[in-house]
Chains A and B, each alone.
Chain A
Amino acid sequence: MAAGATYEPISTTTLGSTAATVTLSSIPGNYTDLILVISATVSGATTIHYRLNSDASTNYSVTVLQGNGSTVSSFRGSNEDNIGFGVFYTTQNNSITHLQNYSNTTTYKTLLTRYNNAGNLVGTRVALWRSTAAISSIYLYLDGSETFGSGSTFTLYGIAAA
């Protein structure tokens, strides 16, 4: 079997001040999968929203499973103009999102994420972007006027399959 080192950092964005949005753009198309690792604080409890390739049409849907220490819940959203891909709180939050086969141009894109805030909840979500376009940018934003905290990091990795 052929072997090759992979799981390469593509970019890291570290906020030097609060920001309402973060954009990861010009994502190279020479990997198989992307992994987005977020370690962030936010100004208030909020959903973190994703848009891919600046698509603001109702081409997104999501299924959610999460628990808050006393209750487990599952819900879904369909025909939405963004992916609500986790819930962040004012204390430290982490999420890891997998975008597999992101550069193929024949299938819709399925994303998997796992997110947690130790004092509030743990969850996982799967989302569908009904587009066969290769993913070249990821736009992240929050509810209302909430902002990402200074020092928040957004690191994008590329994995190349043999």
Chain B
Amino acid sequence: MSPILGIIASQNYPRVTASYDSIATLSGNGSSSQLTFSSIPNTYTHLQIRLIVRGTRALATEQLYVRLNGDGGSNYFFHFLYGDGSGAAAGGSSSTVILLNEMPAGNETASVFSTSVVDVLDYTNSNKNTTLRSLSGYNNNGNTANYNDKVWFASGLWINTAAVTSVTVLSNGPFATGSSVALYGIKG
């Protein structure tokens, strides 16, 4: 979940220096399977990516991934824990990507999108490998033809100490129109 922010909650308090900035937003167009934030400023401490996405292919679901700095090598590890409404399952792997979750695709109930909140922690630090965590999921009201909706925790490791300068959200098929991926910077 989100890093702890020192936010003054009450409207009765004076505004403090802003610590959470919107950087950019990318949208699905029905043809692109990759959405990339590039030239990410190094003036923040953490990044947060907030997604609402759906695939277009004639499938029930598509896997949703993250890749950093365009690195397509086998330099990632990920783990996940999910609940599918009947039981919990876990897994993990080394890979060329970090798996976040499975999003609904073309055969899923119309107008259903999955949402994710992804935290990329200490992304500019050149002394440590980059880690991220996410909470994701969608629900399809018990559509038993596509009993694939789940709620997910995921964590990922990029085995590289370079500062993160680009983030790519990708899938094996196009993102549907209406999909949106927003990047935020958190100051520390």
A residues neighboring B (CB under 8 Å)? 1-7, 9, 11-12, 32-33, 35, 37, 61-66, 72-76, 78-79, 96, 98, 100-101, 104, 106-108, 110-112, 114, 124-128, 130, 132, 153, 155, 157, 159-162
Contact = CB atoms under 8 A, between A and B. Distances in A.
Given A63-B83, A65-B82, A100-B50, A112 B137 contact: yes
Contact of B178 (A74, A106, A126): A106
B151 A126 contact: yes
A146 B41 CA distance: 48
Contact of B84 (A63, A111, A127, A153): A63
Contact of B86 (A3, A4, A62, A75): A75
B151 A162 contact: no
B139 A127 contact: yes
B111 interface: yes
Does more than half of chain A's interface fall in helix, strand or loop, or is it mixed? strand
Given A2-B22, A5-B21, 16 more contacts: A1-B24, A1-B37, A4-B21, A32-B182, A63-B149, A63-B151, A65-B83, A74-B83, A76-B86, A96-B1, A100-B52, A108-B111, A112-B115, A112-B151, A114-B1, A127-B139
B73 interface: no
Interface stretch (B8-16, B64-72, B120-128, B155-163): B8-16
A127 to B, nearest CB: 6
A98 B25 CA distance: 18
B62 to A, nearest CB: 16
A124 B137 CA distance: 10
A74 B86 contact: yes
Contacts of A72: 88
B139 A5 contact: no
A120 B101 CA distance: 27
A99 B20 CA distance: 18
B25 A162 contact: yes
B22 A159 contact: yes
Contacts of B58: none
